[in-house]
Structure 1
Amino acid sequence: MQIEQFNAAQRPEAVALLRPCLDIQRWIDSLANARPYSDVGSLLDAGRRAAAPFTSAELESALAHHPRIGERAAGNSTEALLSQSEQAGLGAPDAAVAEALADGNRAYEAKFGQVFLIRAAGRSREEILASLNSRLHHTPEQEELIIGEQLREIAVLRLEGLLK
């Protein structure tokens, strides 16, 4: 889709296009209501600004839509397909790395009570595993800041992909 088409879309269509990028209503409303954008860069900048900061409730809601890293997202929704595509870029898993990721996911969920979230695009499984192991040493407050940053990165990458 071109930026001109996004700008000209009826509001319900724009909202539907934005939701798979980041299913946080405040973010969606902010971007849909600020149209028209002069170019893709200005929309991406608006997406970054609208995503900072997230509330704890917004993070919790957004995390509910994300699969565990290394696991295939279920379903055929646009969001699931985006997640599948992002994680497909990780390549075929090495058995030891896949097992370590699964163990790390369990440890992370036991400590923080939620799935481990990281922008998978552009990272290897080994990089993700190293980040997961490092983040296990964080406090919940430190981790919330990082989750917000990762969620912003995912949202902006998805938004950029929507408008190519």
Structure 2
Amino acid sequence: MVLLKIFVVGLLLTVLIQDITSRSVSWPVFPFIALCGLTLQWLLSYPLSDTLRLTAFNLLFLMLQFLGIRLYFLITRGQKAKVVDKMIGWGDILFLISVAFFLPVTTFIAFYILSLLLVLTGWLLYLQIIRSANRHIPLAGLQALIFILFLAGDWLFGRYDIYDDQLFTFLTR
């Protein structure tokens, strides 16, 4: 299992490096990340039916999210607004889909929201400091970095179990 975790970190670092340096990520990385998420849960004896059910909820959440974004830009900018490839890249979408295979629903939604807030806040600060002309956010790469740190909290330090929704259920009490 240690080698699989090292492989996952290597894949996530690949996303980070490729997204920051070339603004594109080799698409085969994403199915490998998703497959690693399923395999890790299987190795931890989580029932495949439960894992696939939770993954389906995560994918449904993403689909609703992207439909909402599409609808927003359709209303505010008209029919010619291209959301995918102009405002959000396929790599960003594929990264989130692949991470959906790792986490239970509450943990996935919390990761999604927190990573977006951290990336957007960090990027705004970066633009203020560097004054870069490049305004494209390497979202998938920076979320991959946050996901590595998130995984490290479980895998290295044992502070929480990323495969258990109890990590974030305390917020709803």
Q: TM-score, normalised by structure 2?
A: 0.36
Normalized per residue, which structure has more helix?
2
TM, length-normalised to structure 1:
0.37
